[in-house]
Structure formats: C-alpha cells, structure tokens
Amino acid sequence: MARDWRCSLVGELVVGVDLGGTKIQAVATVGGEVVGEARLPTPTTDAAEVTAEVARIVKLALDSAGAEITRVLAVGIGSPGAVVTGTGHVSKAANVAGFTDDVALGPEVARVLGGVTVIVENDVRAAVMGELHRGTGRHYGNFLGVFVGSGVGGGLVLGGRLRRGNGNAGEIGHTTVRPGGRECTCGKRGCLEAYAGRVSIERRAREHVAKGRKTKLFDIMERKGRDRLTSSVIGEALDEDDALAVELIGKAVSALGVALSNAQNLLDLEAIILGGGLVDRLGESFVRKVEEETAKSLRVPESPPAMHLSELGDHAGAIGATVVAEQMLCRYGG
C-alpha cells in the first residue's frame, strides 16, 4: 500500500496539468484537495499552440481557485510521449500536434508563467501516481494502471512503488495483441493501442465509411460540434446501438482482454485499475466486460486480480501531476 512521503506540503498551492490528445485538464490543489479546475480542448495545429494552452490552463485553474501565480509552489504536467527526466522535454507523442519531435514543454511553460517551478512526467505514470496515493491504488501494493484515451498507456506499481525500469515499464499499449495486425500510431503492427485507442478507433471507423459502411458516429460528431470522434461521441453512438461503434468497441474489449491476461499471467497482480477518457465515458459496464474477457485467458482463473474503474476518474492525470510535483519538491527541495 502507498506510504506518504517524508516532507509535508500542507497549505501549499500546487497545480497539475493533464495534457491529452483531445483535452487539457488542470487542477489547483492545496494539501491534496482540489480547490480549482479548468479544461480546454487540445489544439490540433502545432507544438507552440499546445504549449501556450498548457500555460493558459494553469492560469484558468488558478482563476477558478481565486489564487495568483505568485502563490504557486510548483506546476506538474503529465504529457504523453517520452519525457526526458529533469529537463521537461517531451517527444514521440504521436497523438499531440507537433510532439513527435522534441518539445521544451517544461521550460517554455515556466518561462510564460514567470519562472515558476515546472515538473514534467509521462501522463500515464502521473495518473498511476495519482491512483497510488489518492485513489483506488492506495489499497494495493502491486497493481497495473491502464488508461485508455487517445492512445493506451500503462503504469506498473510493485511493492508500493512506481516501477520505471529503463523508462518504459508498464507501457502495455504497445504490447502485441495480434502479430502482424493493424498498424499502430507508433509505426508497428498489432499493438493494443491499434485496437483500443480512440485515435485508432476513429481511423478504423473512417476506413469502414469510405467502403460504404453506415454509421451514426460522424453524424453524432457533427451534431456535438466536434472535429474528432471523442469518447463522448463514441459513448453516445453505443447508447444508440450503432452497429459499427458496437463492433469497434467489442474489438477494443477483446484486445484489452488479451493484453491484461498476459500481464496478469506474468506478474500475478493484486489489481488492475482502468481509466482514461474512453473508460471514464463508458464506465463500470465497460470495465466488467474487460474483466470478463480477461478472465478467459487467465492461467489461474480462480485467483483473478481485482479490476476497478479509476477512483479519480477524469482528474486522475491532473491530480497525479500534482503528486509528482510534490514528491519531486520533497526529494530535492524545490
């Protein structure tokens, strides 16, 4: 189970930002309690605009909290892609515009905010840290967090600590569920993300429509004023029993079952926690379907892992980013 870190930041104001392929979410916290929040759509133009919106959402979260930037002890950012520890640079984030190349996210946000301390971590690792210390994960010493949104990311906790390995521990989204299968955003084939990630689901839906398949997905997208098949669009299509949406989500559930059963057979975990935009929208019934699919391939089916919906929900990434920032300040003194 999670243990509190050594120093205390009670009364200190920390802002956490969750940068996603569809939305940017931010929370302002004091002593771990959320006192302000904000949400913006993720720009689809270039890295400079994305970075500017990250800085802007920090200010919006502070406005919501009735606080000034001068009160902020630190800003934590959870970003998809490869994060260079200690530098705040990010790259290889295929689902965020301009983030496939190196982006000085932390330094640029710090500059715009007047020099405040900014700490950047991988978005899913940040979300897992949130669950470990302030969510369902605090009840377990060994669990896998899997977050399904624009892509699929994972984080592994062993012995009450986040396992980092060489930087890719827990990255279940790029494990192979079907050799030679669909092309993934990473360039390889058959990854879990190619079947369960929202971006890949949208790509597959467009391929079907181009071949004459009927679906309500894009009508709902237009009606809701979206430019992408967001999780809410997919969820509404499922609510309306759209055949293509049901088929694509069924394949996502199947792929998740393969990946999670393999992880459980290897690691014998206490729990698996599912979150991310798509899971948050589809809810408990989706988690139970994944649980059923996972059980089919367990080596020891009589001792399955507990499977939970993320307790922190939509705020997991942003709250986790505050945890990362707080821990870093405690470790190195800011």
Could you tell me how far CA 297 lies from the centroid of its own chain?
26
Q: What CA–CA distance (Å, rounded) separates 241 from 208?
A: 17
Nearest to 72 by CA among 322, 316, 315: 322
Q: Are 271 and 307 in contact (CB under 8 A)?
A: yes
Q: What CA–CA distance (Å, rounded) separates 186 from 197?
A: 12
- Secondary structure of residue 157 in the 3-state scheme: strand
Residue carrying structure tokens 């949130």: 130
Instruction: Render each residue's pLDDT in the chain as its tens digit; 334 residues.
Output: 444 444 566 678 999 999 998 899 999 999 889 999 999 999 999 999 999 999 999 999 999 999 999 999 999 999 998 888 789 999 988 889 999 999 999 999 999 999 999 999 999 999 999 999 999 999 999 999 999 998 999 999 999 999 988 777 888 999 999 999 999 988 899 999 999 999 999 999 999 999 999 999 999 999 999 988 999 999 999 999 999 999 999 999 999 999 999 999 999 999 999 999 999 999 999 999 999 999 999 999 999 999 999 999 989 999 999 999 998 888 765 4
Q: Which residues contact 169 (CB under 8 A, 6 or more apart)?
A: 155, 156, 163
Q: Are 301 and 157 in contact (CB under 8 A)?
A: no
How crowded is residue 177: how many other Cβ atoms within 10 Å of its Cβ? 22
Q: What CA–CA distance (Å, rounded) separates 202 from 234?
A: 9
Q: Which residues contact 300 (CB under 8 A, 6 or more apart)?
A: 268
Residue boundaries of the structural domains of the chain: 13-127+315-332, 141-310
Could you tell me how far CA 134 lies from the centroid of its own chain?
16
Give the type of residue at 301.
P
Q: What CA–CA distance (Å, rounded) separates 263 from 253?
A: 15
Can you give the pTM of this predicted structure?
Answer: 0.88
Q: State which fold the 13-127+315-332 domain adopts.
A: Nucleotidyltransferase; domain 5 (3.30.420)
Nearest to 25 by CA among 277, 237, 205: 277
Sheet hosting strand 33-41, strand order edge to edge: 33-41, 23-30, 13-19, 72-79, 118-122
Strands 143-148 and 271-275: parallel
pLDDT of residue 54: 98
Is 141-310 the same fold as 13-127+315-332? yes
Q: If one looks up domain 141-310 in CATH, what number appears?
A: 3.30.420.40
